[in-house]
DNA sequence: GATTTTTGTCACCAGTCGGTGATATTGTGT
DNA sequence: ACACAATATCACCGACTGGTGACAAAAATC
């Protein structure tokens, strides 16, 4: 007989998923744990969300745990669209690194999606995928063809470009996820900002070499 | 009063860790589950290995769950050392992809190491790290300087080369790990061999563009 | 042959898990 | 004032977890 407010209780439960993910990781997510964290009886999870998967889905829909296309573009879509391909790729890499590094909960979810596939992770993945598609539509189908003053698309086909962007994203994802538990990865410093700057520089060099063709 | 053979029992327990990792993933690893899988009482885990972490350490020491430098070089160290830098990088990428894709247990362990850091994963990680250092010593410090007929090292410093190799490894690791639960990643087909060939081609193009400078 | 050490089985502990049915309390409409 | 629905609490279930102490049987030692 505490609050008697369904909306507030729902919000508390959803928020508890996030704070529990941040504190204990995805291993700490469970009906009992979430209810305990929210200071609420666990039976309300079943009543209001139909179970833990429903609660997770609600959490996935609420939060901004995935960077938007705008954020990956650096905050200014116009300036982004008008820059050269190599500049765009480099900027995207840097922004993606920053976006991931400051979203520990997102990293936790990414690892979760890698470690088990169930109703819970599938709900979260749907949100992520739609964001990714949105960004690639903007980035690949959009300014690539409009900026015909850059002739480097002769060397990199649209297919190759897509693969390269995905490879960059994959590498960044892996390194950021690893940086949560190890400081050094094959000689790369994943713990300090200067270490990440070195990674960004190496990526910029790669990109420049490729686009210069 | 079954077998009365300490060595065999130890082997059974160690093997059960592997088969359980393959069947249920790292979430299925536990004292009860491993003992049940081995058809042995769980108290023997404590007696023979001092606990689950000791058993995991023993498992890590036994298996060849991590590709050797020889395997990453393609089986012929001499031929590998005599090829050009871009050829070596491409070959290493391909071999690493193949090595990871045919080692599901290794993938499981990699995800495990990403998702929690404890005595169990630290034991496994030590084995992995030493293998990586071995390979990089062979690959970077070794043939890079001896093959001075290739002039592209003027553009790529040893530092950059190391970062690039690690970025490639990170990208491959991420994509292979993702391929266990999703078939498409941002348009890349991770489920078929032809999809992986396309990824290898994109990597080869990147490498060639970079080393050609 | 008797004793001790090794090897393995079993029963039990307290704690957590996901899940459910019964019940108490509050707010609302009549 | 009364009935009724919405909201939240509680007690319990069976199953599983990591961990331990008591004990039985086989093997090695004396």
Mark whether A51 and A84 lie in a shared domain: no
CB pair distance less than 8 Å for B202 and A136: no
Q: Does residue A104 form part of some domain? A: yes
Mark whether A132 and A49 lie in a shared domain: no
What does the pLDDT read at residue A173? 98
CB pair distance less than 8 Å for B181 and A117: yes
Q: Does residue A85 form part of some domain? A: yes
Mark whether B26 and B42 lie in a shared domain: yes
Question: Contact A86/A208 with Cβ under 8 angstroms?
Answer: yes
Tokens of residue B187, six digits: 């348009």
Query: pLDDT (tens digit, 9 = 90+) per residue, B131-151?
Result: 777 777 776 655 444 444 444
Extract the runs of DSSP E, i.e. beta strands, from A43-196. 184-185, 188-189
Q: Rounded to a whole number, what is the distance in Å from the CA of B123 to chain A's nearest CA?
A: 14
Q: Does residue A58 form part of some domain? A: yes
Least confident among A10-14, A141-145, B66-70 = A141-145
Q: Which domain holds residue B53?
A: 6-62
Q: Does residue B120 form part of some domain? A: yes
Average pLDDT of the segment spanning B14-23 = 96
Mark whether B191 and B116 lie in a shared domain: yes
Q: Rounded to a whole number, what is the distance in Å from the CA of B8 to chain A's nearest CA?
A: 31
Check pLDDT > 70 for residue A6. Answer: yes
Mark whether A94 and A54 lie in a shared domain: no
Mark whether B41 and B58 lie in a shared domain: yes
Strand D contacted by B32 CB (< 7 A):
yes
Checking each nucleotide's C1' against the CA of A2, the nearest proves to be D8
Mark whether B93 and B198 lie in a shared domain: yes
Phi-psi label, residue A157: left if phi above 0, alpha if psi -120 to 50, beta otherwise:
beta
Show which positions of strand C are touched by protein (CB under 7 A).
Answer: 6-11, 16-22, 25-27
Q: Which CATH number characterizes residue B33's domain?
A: 1.10.10.60
Mark whether B48 and B83 lie in a shared domain: no
Task: Kindly give, in sequence order, each residue whose CB lies less than 8 Å from that of residue A148, ignoring residues fewer than 6 positions away.
Answer: none
Check pLDDT > 70 for residue B188. Answer: yes
The tally of domains found in chain B comes to 2
Extract the runs of DSSP E, i.e. beta strands, from chain B. 184-185, 188-189
Mark whether A112 and A191 lie in a shared domain: yes
Mark whether A91 and A140 lie in a shared domain: yes
Tell me the chain A residues in contact with residue B175 when contact means C-beta distances shorter than 8 Å: 166-167, 170
Average pLDDT of the segment spanning A5-26 = 95
Check pLDDT > 90 for residue B96. Answer: yes
Average pLDDT, chain A: 87
In chain B, the percentage of residues whose pLDDT exceeds 70 is 90
Distance in angstroms (rounded) separating the CA atoms of residues B84 and A32: 58
Instruction: Look at the alpha carbons of B83, B85, B90, B95 in this order and tell me if their dihedral is positive or negative.
Output: positive
């Amino acid at each position: 007989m505490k609050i008697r407010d369904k909306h507030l209780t729902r919000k508390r439960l959803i928020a508890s998923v996030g704070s529990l993910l941040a504190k204990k990781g995805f291993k700490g997510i469970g009906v009992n744990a979430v209810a305990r964290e929210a200071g609420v009886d666990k039976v309300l999870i079943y009543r209001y969300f139909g179970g833990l998967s429903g609660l997770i889905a609600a959490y996935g829909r609420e939060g901004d745990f995935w960077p938007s296309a705008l954020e990956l573009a650096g905050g200014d879509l116009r300036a982004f669209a008008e820059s050269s391909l190599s500049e765009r790729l480099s900027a995207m890499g840097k922004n993606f690194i920053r976006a991931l590094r400051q979203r520990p909960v997102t990293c936790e979810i990414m690892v979760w999606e890698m470690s088990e596939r169930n109703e819970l992770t599938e709900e979260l993945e749907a949100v992520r995928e739609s964001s990714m598609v949105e960004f690639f539509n903007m980035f690949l189908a959009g300014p690539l063809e409009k900026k015909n003053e850059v002739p480097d698309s002769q060397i990199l086909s649209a297919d190759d470009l897509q693969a390269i962007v995905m490879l960059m994203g994959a590498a960044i994802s892996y390194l950021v996820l690893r940086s949560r538990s190890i400081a050094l990865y094959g000689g790369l410093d994943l713990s300090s900002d200067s270490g990440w700057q070195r990674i960004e520089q190496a990526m910029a060099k790669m990109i420049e070499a490729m686009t210069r063709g």
